[in-house]
Amino acid sequence: MQEELTLSYLLEKGLDTVNMIDVRSPSEYICDNIPTSVNIPLLDDKERAEVGTCYVQQGQKEARLLGVDIISPKLPVFIRQIMDVAKDHRMTVAYCWRGGLRSGSTVGLMTLTGINLFRLKGGYKVFRNHVNDFFSNFSDTYSFINLKGPTGSAKTHVLRALEADGLNVLDLEKAAAHKGSSFGDVDEPEYEFVNQKNFETRVWHTFYRHGAGTYLVEGESLRIGRVAIPRLLFGRMNTCINVVADVPLDARIRFTVDNYKPGMYIDDIRRSLDRLKRFIGKSVVDNLSVLLDNKDYETFTKILLESYYDPLYRRSIPENPDYVIRYETIEEGKKQLEQIYMENKTS
């Protein structure tokens, strides 16, 4: 008998305490998956497409037979991969799109080998519904301290330093694989794989791991790269405590050059720069291009901050922030923000 487990049971038990195996195709897994899961596909993308075409053209029976023909030669490797995951003796759970044929077949196969494998009732679809419900009914048990400041204030680095020390941090830029600027996809190799679904899953997972309470977050616009912050979450962020970073221009230039690494990603920066012509004009962009050619990254950054980013920031800065912190190093910013967090956190 194939025993099914509910998502609510697994979430209560803890995703980190079980082995989650996603038997969907690689492209389905990349699009989005249950955090902590590993992908051991029963069918690869091409094979899944072939079975799907057969189903449409010849019917369910022929499609299933084709699936058996495709899978049979791969079974020894497939079974050993699952056995390797399950060897730590933790509860092991397989899932597919709806908790149907692919995960059911996997459980049946593993039963023959003596491996006790469960399947997730409802599959990935029930998990996706859970994430949607979470953001559609965003709980008021989550509160936020927004860190805002002009481009180059090293806000992300300050927050990540605090996260490393154990404070609750919602890292939206990490979830989006984007730095939240016109050059935000530079040095972000995961950016091409990001979509709204897996972005929301990553954000959900942060809340799931840490639970209710106060989170530090960088003040962002609604959109980050190609994704958007869920609206109820975005609204909550903007009704909580605002902290403004006041960082000298020289330090901001230094932080920006260190963060974007123009010497390593010069072509990516040029492509992003070209998109700014309609905002700052062709003559400014041409001048900036010359500075890139001459490897004068500091002057390039100074002009870009003063002519483009700072005017945008001045339109979004809170008129009466709750706190203003002034720093020239990440460590200084970290200490001041940590004090504010300790004064305002809720359990």
- Just list the catalytic residues: 96
How many other C-beta atoms can be found within 10 angstroms of the C-beta atom of residue 178? Answer: 24
User: How far is it, in rounded angstroms, from Cα 17 to Cα 91?
Assistant: 8
Adjacent-strand bridge partners of 214? 143
Partner residues linked to 118 by β-bridges? 93
Count the neighbouring beta carbons within 10 Å of the beta carbon of residue 182: 17
Closest to 313 measured CA to CA, from 152, 137, 118: 152
Tokens, residue 119: 């399947």
Kindly state the tokens that stand for 86.
């399950």
Taking alpha carbons only, the member of 161, 186, 185, 156 closest to residue 172 is: 156
Which residue is it, tokens 């996706």? Answer: 128
What is the sign of the dihedral through the CA atoms of 221, 227, 230 and 231? positive
Q: Which helix (H) or strand (E) holds 224?
A: strand 223-224
Taken in order 159, 164, 169, 174, the sign of the CA dihedral is positive
Name, in order, each residue with C-beta under 8 angstroms of 58's C-beta and a sequence gap of 6 or more. none
Distance CA 213, CA 240 (A): 13
Contact 210, 168 (CB under 8 A): yes
Edge-to-edge order in the sheet of strand 4-5: 4-5, 117-120, 92-95, 19-22, 38-39
Contact 128, 32 (CB under 8 A): yes
Query: What is the helix (H) or strand (E) element at residue 76, kind and residue range?
Result: helix 75-86
The Cα 180–Cα 175 span in angstroms is 11
